[in-house]
Structure 1
Amino acid sequence: MAEKRNIFLIGPMGAGKSTIGRQIAQQLGMDFFDSDQEIEKRTGADIAWIFDLEGEEGFRTREEKVINELTEKQGVVLATGGGSILSKDTRNRLSARGIVVYLQTTIEKQMARTQKDKRRPLLQGNNNLRERYEELEEERVPLYEEIADITIKTDEQSAKGVASYIIEQIEQI
């Protein structure tokens, strides 16, 4: 039954949205999409370059369009960018078009998982990363919580374990 519904993963960078999303799609035989990868594929440029050229606003416009298109599909698993929920239109589309799963993680885990990643423009050139993560958390957590159908902490479990738990929860909805 779960494979007929769209599953949208939201949460901060480093929560495991892409890794867990691939696991869910594989277990259910569904198509998997990552909104950031889709933007890169369509533009032929990486996210950091888009941020440099168009700023965050330009990137968010592209992100909103891509997520709108991807959420119109049926039976997909979509890992969204951490800031995609800043758009009210995107939040509304995610809520209306599928089951929204909020992957929670601590700032410590986020920092550990993203410290070597140079492809995250919101972290570049920032001398106090912890402070930056705290700002993003304060701004975004209420928006994640607003649209989540299921919330799960990802810190202490394997991606496969989290994916299995999510599938069980969806089948109960």
Structure 2
Amino acid sequence: MMTEPRLIALIGAPGSGKTTIAAALAEEIGVSAIDGDEFVERHSGHSPADLAVDLEPADAHAAIRAALVALGESITEPTVVAMPSSVIELDNPDELLAPYTVVFLDVDLATSFPRTGLAAPRPVGFVLPRSLWHEMLVARRPQYEQLADCIIDVSGAIIQAIVEQILTKTADTLK
């Protein structure tokens, strides 16, 4: 397994733009981009929805962890990885992320919520997804911050501006 940084891992809540920004950043610097959710699905045979709904949390976390270990072992060149948002729920996520320069894409409710598809009208009396989403963003932020080498506020920002901020904050890694 390689020990030098594999360039950059993007972490953040669902709807923070990890996959889109990983692709744009990778194109800008001329390296590969990997969507961690897609890699986990290919490796485990379970979609993110299947992992969240059909499996017990411990089994889902084991499948995600095994896939991310395999991902890390498979990377042989500089790469930008859009990590699954659930990486922070795994045991010892810092170990999984150690080979990477970790960028936390910090996003607010107004930006992330519509991107998830949860903003559709809901019948009165059912769960309030906006409130639950906000609670999840607030609860997870400290975990993401603790794992991050740098933090980029992506709320309402355009992709190119985010890429430029990442390049500025990770300039030493890219040399």
Tell me if structure 2 keeps the 8 A contact 1:102–1:145. yes
Equivalent of residue 86 in structure 1, options 85, 89, 114: 89
SS of match in other structure, 2:15 = coil
Per-residue CA distance 1:13-60 (angstroms, 9 max, x = gap): 100000000111111121111111112223444222333332333222
Tell me if structure 2 keeps the 8 A contact 1:51–1:58. no
Percent pairwise identity: 24
> Unaligned regions of 5+ residues in structure 2, if any?
121-125
**Larger Rg: 1 or 2?**
2
Letter in 2 for 1:53: D
Would you say how many aligned residue pairs link Structure 1 and Structure 2?
Answer: 162
**In structure 2, C-alpha distance between the alignment counterparts of 1:117 and 1:70, rounded to whole Å:** 32
TM-score, normalised relative to structure 1: 0.82
Equivalent residue number for residue 97 of structure 1? 99
Equivalent of residue 80 in structure 2, options 65, 77, 91: 77
Per-residue CA distance 1:95-117 (angstroms, 9 max, x = gap): x2010000011112111111269
Letter in 2 for 1:98: Y
**In structure 1, C-alpha distance between the alignment counterparts of 2:58 and 2:129, rounded to whole Å:** 22
Tell me if structure 2 keeps the 8 A contact 1:67–1:90. no
Following TM superposition, the consecutive aligned residue runs of length 4 or more in structure 1 with deviations greater than 3 angstroms are none
**In structure 2, C-alpha distance between the alignment counterparts of 1:128 and 1:166, rounded to whole Å:** 34
Equivalent residue number for residue 114 of structure 1? 116
Q: CA RMSD in A?
A: 2.3
**In structure 2, C-alpha distance between the alignment counterparts of 1:45 and 1:88, rounded to whole Å:** 20
More helix by share: 1
> Unaligned regions of 5+ residues in structure 1, if any?
119-125
Equivalent residue number for residue 122 of structure 1? none
Map 1:4-153 onto structure 2 (within 5 A).
5-72=6-73, 73=75, 74-94=77-97, 96-115=98-117, 127-153=127-153
